[in-house]
Amino acid sequence: MMFYLTTLNLSRFLTEEAPVLGQDEVNPQTLAVVEGWKHFDYLCMVVSKSFQVVAIIKKLPTGWKDFKNYLKHKRKEMIVKEVALRLRIEEDSRKEMNGEKNGSKPMLGEAKSNVVEHGS
């Protein structure tokens, strides 16, 4: 949520309090703005860190099934930064296992089989 509001240049509304109206500022337009602020403040409840971690784990691709199970069964509660770090490590190790060392990917159509020659 914070990232989305930051991209819209609206993140300040998460930390600022609703404006307080004085007696001379009360008119239908400003009253509607303050009421709208309070209504949206109610709708934008804080999402817990553990919910964010579970949502990230759930969105992993199906090929990462074993890693997803590993993260789900960890006893220690993780924060988003820890999950991001573990995802980077896992991604790097998968790239190395697939031969994508140093950021170079194998070329499409590259032969990966051995040639066997039979004697005459």
pLDDT at 26: 76
User: Is 92 domain-assigned?
Assistant: yes
Distance between CA atoms of residues 101 and 103, nearest Å: 5
pLDDT at 3: 64
pLDDT at 111: 52
User: Is 29 domain-assigned?
Assistant: no
Closest-CA residue to 71 (of 88, 54, 52, 93): 54
pLDDT at 13: 65
Radius of gyration of the chain (CA): 26
Q: What pTM was computed for the model? A: 0.46
User: Over the chain (120 residues), what is each successive 10-residue block's mean pLDDT?
Assistant: 67 69 76 77 68 86 89 82 90 84 54 67
Q: What is the DSSP-derived secondary structure letter of residue 86?
A: H
User: Is 65 domain-assigned?
Assistant: yes
User: Is 87 domain-assigned?
Assistant: yes
pLDDT at 88: 92
Number of folded domains that form the chain: 1
User: Is 78 domain-assigned?
Assistant: yes
Domain that holds residue 83: 49-98
